Structure 1
């Protein structure tokens, strides 16, 4: 199992709602799923810029995560996520 950390600073909540409707199926296509998501944060160390929404995504392996990210059939889904606001995703490992 490998994880990706997604950080979103939402400025278009309607687009985020639309994205949530399709995100699960897009992740599942490559064996991924949302492990945890939240809008509440506690800074433990440092002074990071906290996003509005953060999610921990789980994938079976690195190749599956990259396939999800680069799948041309999911381009519209990724565009929808980005239209909700700033979107950064880090693959951990």
Structure 2
């Protein structure tokens, strides 16, 4: 199992609502899922730039995560996520 941290700064809430409807099935295509997602984040140390939405994603392995982000059939889903505002995803491993 491998995890990814997603950080979203939302400028387009309507796009975020549309993305949420498609995110789960898109992740599932590659064995991924949302472990936790929240708009309620707290800095534990330092002064990080807190996101409007943070999510912890899981995948069976690194290849599955790379398959998800590079899947040409999911381009529109990834473009929709990016249209919400700033979108950063970091693979942990």
What is the CA RMSD across the aligned residues, in angstroms? 0.4
Q: Residue by residue, what CA displacement relative to the aligned partner does 1:10-65 show, whole Å, maximum 9, x if unpaired?
A: 00000000000111000000000000001011111010000100000000000000
User: Separation in 1 of the partners of 2:61 and 2:81?
Assistant: 22
CA contact (8 A) 2:42 2:50 kept: no
Instruction: State the partner residue of 1:90.
Output: 90
Please give the TM-score of this superposition, normalised by the length of structure 1.
0.99
User: Separation in 2 of the partners of 1:40 and 1:26?
Assistant: 24
Count of aligned residue pairs for this structure pair: 93
User: Separation in 1 of the partners of 2:46 and 2:66?
Assistant: 29
User: Separation in 1 of the partners of 2:41 and 2:32?
Assistant: 23
Deviation at 1:86, TM superposition (A): 0.3
Unaligned runs of 5+ in 1: none
